[in-house]
Every structure is written in C-alpha cells, then in structure tokens.
C-alpha cells in the first residue's frame, strides 16, 4: 500500500499580473521593438539634418619654398 504525504505549500508572494508584467518587460521582442523605435528616431534626425542649409568651404592652396644659394 502506498502512503501519500501532502505537504502544505506556502502561497506565492506575487500575483499573476506581476509575472505577466515581468514577462512583457523582459521580452526580447519588446526590447527589439524599443531598439527599432530608437533607431528610427536617429534616422529621422539624420534625414532632417540633410535638408537643412549647409556651408562648405573648399581651399586649394599650395606652398612652394624658394631656395636661394648665396655665393661666397
């Protein structure tokens, strides 16, 4: 004959809602989505910067040394 022992288990300290919120907060899909949102924001700023007025300066100069020989 088998003897079954039932143990009293303590109730969990956290509710199902707590575990669901933790799953959402730590989901790789949620983190990937946040990274995509951040990346899109950076891309938007770069595109806006392209269409703003820009100032470019180009300088073309050269230096040629003058070498003189003094005669004694």
Query: pLDDT tens across 50-66, in order?
Result: 998 888 889 888 888 88
Q: State the DSSP code for 38.
A: H
Q: At residue 72, does pLDDT exceed 90?
A: no
How far is residue 9's CA from residue 41's CA, in Å, rounded to a whole number?
50
**How crowded is the C-beta side of 17, counted as CA atoms within 13 Å?**
0
Does 7 score more than 80 pLDDT? no
Helices (H), the chain: 16-25, 28-50
Would you give the end-to-end CA distance of the chain in angstroms?
127
At 15-41, the pLDDT tens digits run 999 999 999 999 999 999 999 999 999
This prediction has a pTM of 0.46
């Amino acid at each position: 004959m088998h003897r079954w022992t039932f143990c009293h288990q303590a109730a969990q300290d956290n509710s199902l809602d707590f575990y669901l919120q933790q799953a959402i907060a730590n989901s790789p899909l949620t983190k990937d989505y946040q990274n995509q949102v951040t990346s899109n924001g950076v891309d938007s700023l770069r595109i806006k910067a392209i269409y703003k007025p820009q100032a470019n300066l180009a300088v073309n100069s050269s230096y040629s040394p003058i070498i003189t020989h003094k005669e004694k």
